[in-house]
Chain A
Amino acid sequence: MVEEVIKAEGLTKIFNKSLVAVDHVDFSVKHGEIFGFLGPNGAGKTTTINMLITVLKPTEGTASVLGYDIVKQANDVRKVIGVVPQEYTADEDLTGYENIILCADLYGIPRKVSKKRALELLDLVELTPFKDKRVETYSGGMRRRLELASGLINRPKVFFLDEPTLGLDVQTRAATWDYIRRLKKEYGMTLFMTTHYLEEADALCDRIAIIDHGKIVVTGTPSELKDSLGGDIITISIKEDVDVGDLIRDVENVKEVKKEDGAYRVKAEYGEVTAPFIIEALRKKGYTVTKLSMSEPTLNDVYLEYTGRAMRDTEESRESLITRRITLRRARRR
C-alpha cells in the first residue's frame, strides 16, 4: 500500500504562455484521508484537479497518483481513479441507468459486472426509483448523486470531487456530504476534493490546503489551521468611556487588542482561561465589564489571515457563474 496516494512536486500549469493558473504547488495526500483544496474562483483548484485526472498536461513539475506518473502513465492513473466534475456531465437525454452503463463501457467493464454494479450504486445514492427516468427530469441534488454513482463504477481507489456541492441549496449540500462520507466508508477510498465553501471544507476534509492565485498558502487540518491563528477571539465591552487597550494587552496570553465599535476585540490563546484574567484586571482598576463573548476562529478567519481577503468577497461572481451554467443547460435542449 502506497502511503502517499497523491504526490505533487512543483506542479505548474501555464495557459497561453502567460496565464499562470497553478504555480509550483507541492502537496501530498495520505492514504484514506479526505484532502481538500480551498480557494476562491480562479485560484487554480480545477486546473490542479484536471492535471491530476490526466485531462490537462502540466507545463512544469510532476505528480503521481498511487505511484503512477500522471503524464507518463496516464492510462494507469485513469484506471484507478474516479471523477466527479464540477459540471453535471450526465447526458440529459439518457436515463440515469444508461448514463452509468455508458461510464462502465468506457472503462471496459463487462456488462455482466456493470449491470449489477450500476444497480447497487443507484441504490446506494437512493436513485433506484428514478433510474429509468431521463436525467433532464432530475433535480440538482439527484444529478450530483448520479455523478457520484457513475464516478464509482470502476471501484476507484482515489476519488476526485471538483466542487461537489456547487450550486446546491444548504439542505441538499448537507445530504450530499453524508453521501460522500458514506461512499468513502463503503469503498475505503482516498478523496481529493476542491471547494470554495468554508463549511464544506470544515465538515468534510481531514486536511486542507488553502490555494490562492495558483499557490498553496498553507496546509493543515482544519483545527491546526484555526489554532495557527493564535487562539480565540474575546469581545469585551466596559461601562466606562476610557481606553483600556493597554491594560488588556498586559494580561498574560493576550496577543492582540483592537477597538471596534466601542468593544475590544481581543485575540488570545486559551480564551476560556484568559478571559477571567482580563475581567479581573479590569475590575482591579474599577471598571465594570458589561458584555463578554468568546468565539473560536473559523476557517473564514484563517482564510482572511492567509490571503488578506474574506472568502465571502469572492462568492458573488461564483453564483452568477452557476446561473449562467443553468441557462446554458436549458439552452441545450436541441
Chain B
Amino acid sequence: MSEANEYHPSLLRGLWALTNRELKKWLKDPVMLVMFVLQPLIWMSLLGKSMNISAMFSANNINMPATMPVPSNIVISPSGVNVVLNGTALSQMFADMGAQIMQNTFGVADYFSYMAVGMVSMIVMTTTMFSGMSIVWDRRLGFLDKVLSTPVPRGAIIFAKVLNATLRAMFQATIILALAYLLGLQVSSTFTPLNLLGVYAAIFLLSVGLSSVFLAFSLRSTRMERPMQFVSLITMPLMFASNTFFPVSSMPDWMQAIAKVNPLTYMTDAVRQLTILPLDVSALMIDFAYLSIFAAALATIGIVLSWKYLTK
C-alpha cells in the first residue's frame, strides 16, 4: 500500500522527462522548424546577397577611362606641363581603398559572410522567444496545473522550458550556419572545427538568458496575444540596434549606447570571431564574459520570478 511513497522524484529525472516531451513534440512537427529557419534564410539570401558592398568598390565598377587628362583649372606646379593620368591604375587604387574600407568597417571582405553570421542571433532570438511562450499553452490547457500537482521539483518545470528553448536554438543555428556555408560564407584562416564548440557556447549563453526572460514574461499571461505582440515589437529594434546587420562603430552615439549593452552584439561578435574574422582572443574574452553575466543574471531573475508565479 505504501509503495507510492518510496519513489523519489528527482530534479534531473523530471527535467529529462519534461524536456523529452517538448523535444518529441518538436520533432513531430517539422513544419514549425522549417518556418523558423525560413525567416533568417530569406533575410540572408535576399539582403545578404543584394547588399553587395564589396562589388561597389571593385575596379570593374569604378572603371575609369584608360587615359585621363588632368583638367586645366587644376593647379599643378611646375605650370604648363600637360599631365595625363593612368585611369586603370587609378581604378585599382580606388578598389584597393574600397577593400580597405570594407575590411575596416566589417572586418571581412564580403558583406554576405558578415550578415549571414548575424542571422544566428535572429534565429536564437525568435526560437527562444517562442519556446518560452509555450508555457502559456501549458497553462491554458491545464497541463501546467497537472504537472504542478505531481511531486516533480518546481525547478524542473522551469529548467525544462529553458533547456528546450536552448536546444532548439542551437539546433536551428546549426542549420543556418550550414546553409550560410553552402551559400558562400567565407571562413577565416584562424577557423578550426574546434571553434564550433565556442560558437555553441555563445549560442547557449544567449539562449539561456533570453528564454528565461521570456518565460518569466509569459508566465503571467493567460493569453497568447500579449507576449506575441511583445515579441514582434522587440525583435527588429533589438537586431538593428546591434551588430547583426551593421557594425556598431558606424552608428550614431545614442544607438551605439544601446548596441553596447545589447547581448545580441556580444553573441554575434563571438560567433564572428570564431568563424569569419581573424581571431582576436581578448575581444572574444570580453564577449564571453558579458554573455556569461547576462545569462547568469537573467536566468536568476527569470527563475525567481517564475518560481513566484508557479506557487501563487
Contact = CB atoms under 8 A, between A and B. Distances in A.
B67 interface: no
Given A75-B151, A79-B151, A93-B24, A105 B13 contact: yes
A107 B9 contact: yes
A102 B140 CA distance: 19
Interface stretch (A149-157, A217-225, A256-264, A272-280): A149-157
Nearest to B7: A108
Nearest to B26: A93
Interface residues of B, number: 35
Interface in A43-90: 50, 53-57, 75, 78-81, 83, 85-89
Ranked 9 nearest A-B pairs via Cβ? A87-B142, A105-B17, A108-B9, A78-B151, A106-B152, A106-B150, A89-B146, A53-B149, A108-B7
Interface of B: 1, 3-5, 7-10, 13-14, 16-18, 20-21, 24-25, 28-29, 32, 137, 140-143, 145-152, 311-312
Contacts of B5: 79-80
A94 B7 contact: no
A245 to B, nearest CB: 53
B312 A57 contact: yes
Contacts of A107: 4, 7, 9, 150-152
A329 B151 CA distance: 27
Contacts of B143: 89, 91
A334 B8 contact: no
B141 A106 contact: no
A109 interface: yes
A59 B147 CA distance: 22
A2 interface: no
B10 to A, nearest CB: 6
Contacts of B25: 91, 93-94
A80 B42 CA distance: 53
A110 interface: yes
Given A103-B150, A108-B13, A110-B7, 12 more contacts: A53-B149, A54-B148, A56-B312, A75-B151, A81-B149, A87-B142, A89-B141, A94-B21, A94-B25, A105-B14, A157-B4, A328-B141
A13 B14 CA distance: 29
Contacts of B29: 93, 334
- Please report whether the interface of chain A is mostly helix, strand, loop or mixed according to DSSP: loop
Interface residues of A, number: 37
Interface of A: 50, 53-57, 75, 78-81, 83, 85-89, 91, 93-94, 98, 102-103, 105-110, 154-157, 328-329, 332, 334
Contact of B147 (A87, A93, A106, A334): A106
Residue of B20, B25, B145 with most chain A CB atoms under a 10 A cut-off: B145
Given A57-B311, A79-B151, A94-B25, A105 B16 contact: yes
A94 B142 CA distance: 16
Contacts of A110: 7
Nearest to A71: B311
Contacts of B142: 85-89
B150 A55 contact: no
B150 A78 contact: yes
Contacts of A87: 141-142
A103 B9 CA distance: 11
Contact of A55 (B13, B20, B149): B149
Contacts of B16: 105
Contacts of B28: 93
